[in-house]
Structure 1
């Protein structure tokens, strides 16, 4: 189930502990460019958690973006840990973010798992975009 971005209040799903409105909200809801690769990765996780497919689409490099970027609606993203960041600062052209994202599915299956990835981000037209896993 997706949550309209303008209606999400409270803590940001990305794990910083900050309010959504001042954390990932400006990137996910308003389309502002993320200043770092890590900020973009966190906003993409948040978009998956909230079901905001257009943010995932627009922040994926067109060269590697699949035809369908919609998240599986039966998966609930329940936690994010950033494990390592290399490059990806405001003045960089490339960066890598390693993360672990936890998920669950509703009953009756009630499965749980995690996705671990080292993601590559690059600048395209001055904006950070997700290129893919390394």
Structure 2
């Protein structure tokens, strides 16, 4: 199992409808390629965890890097993992700017955090944020 976590910024910023369209298309693609993960969005910035076979993860990430809608693409982590963090989930999605996210236990620590490379230089902080949504899916 291979995982890759990156940050990016949408240029121009995407509307909520555009993001949801992107999520639907991405879920279809990921299902065909046995990829799983989660996309977090906040104020035009994204954190994306991709997991699957290394060639499939790397191929998708290369497409993302070439996509003109993504800028400031920063890899936070890549490497082997014991298993999937989001099994059976072609692409989980959470808008971190929505009111619903306030109900996620532990999210308060991230309330005023942007999804920028400056905020997540220490990957353990990104892991903590992703873990909040992994736990939410499994409960």
TM bucket (normalised to shorter chain) is under 0.3
Q: Which has the higher contact order (CA 8 A, sep 6+)?
A: 2
Question: Which structure has the highest helix share of the two?
Answer: 2
Question: Which structure has the highest strand share of the two?
Answer: 1
What TM-score, normalized by structure 2, do the two folds share?
0.26
